[in-house]
Amino acid sequence: MKRKRVCIYCNEIATTKDHVPPECFLDKPYPPNLTTVPACSRCNGSFSKDEEYIMYLSDYLFSIEYNNGDFSREKAELTFTHSGKLEDRMIGSLKADDLGVYFDFEYERLIFIIRKISVGLLFLFCGNTKRVGVSNFIPTTHLSFQQKEEFKNIKWTVVQENRFKYFISDAEIYFVINEILLCLSKYGE
């Protein structure tokens, strides 16, 4: 008897495959090592808008830091200009205070996708989805010199150069989106 695959996110019957990392984080042509995990259509479909938001956010942060505000990826610029709701949300996230203008991003969306990607990577790494706990992130521009040196010495698995890489230790999952957003999740039994 053939065993049915279950969604790694909710344990319902898997009817689709979810890309880990999300395709929108990568450029075409997609790398041959782009992997998928079993997912139900509800979970798989529910991630798309949040993944686009994170893709845009990471490109926006990169463009501010390195490109004088110009998008580094056509995909992010197209997503932004063709999605009126995303554009409205991003513009609505611009805030000002005595120090200047800043981007007040949607923290919960970012943590949601970090955890989702962490669950997918962990499934690929060890075949199960041990409890993914605390998740966080830091822009790579905010790392100390010592932290940058430590991360240089990690043996990263590069999915696509300058777009997505990851490393899984005995208790933590690290991944970098667009060379600007370092994400971390802890996991355990």
Q: With contact defined as beta carbons under 8 Å apart, do 182 and 172 qualify? A: no
Q: With contact defined as beta carbons under 8 Å apart, do 53 and 82 qualify? A: no
What integer pLDDT is reported at residue 164 of this predicted model? 95
What integer pLDDT is reported at residue 58 of this predicted model? 83
Picking from 127, 123, 120, the residue whose alpha carbon sits closest to that of residue 164 is 120
DSSP code per residue over the chain: -PPPPB-TTT-SBP-EEEEES-GGGSPSSPPTT-EEEEE-HHHHHHHHHHHHHHHHHHHHHHHHHHSTT--S-HHHHHHHHH-HHHHHHHHHTEEEETTEEEE---HHHHHHHHHHHHHHHHHHHHSS-PEEEEEEEEEGGGS-HHHHHHHHTS--EEEETTTEEEEE-SSEEEEEETTTEEEEEEEE-
Per-residue confidence in pLDDT tens, the chain, 189 aa = 456 689 999 999 999 999 999 999 998 999 987 899 999 999 999 998 889 888 888 887 777 776 655 555 666 556 556 656 766 776 777 777 887 766 677 888 889 999 999 999 999 998 877 688 878 888 888 889 998 898 888 999 999 998 999 999 988 999 999 888 999 999 886
What integer pLDDT is reported at residue 99 of this predicted model? 75
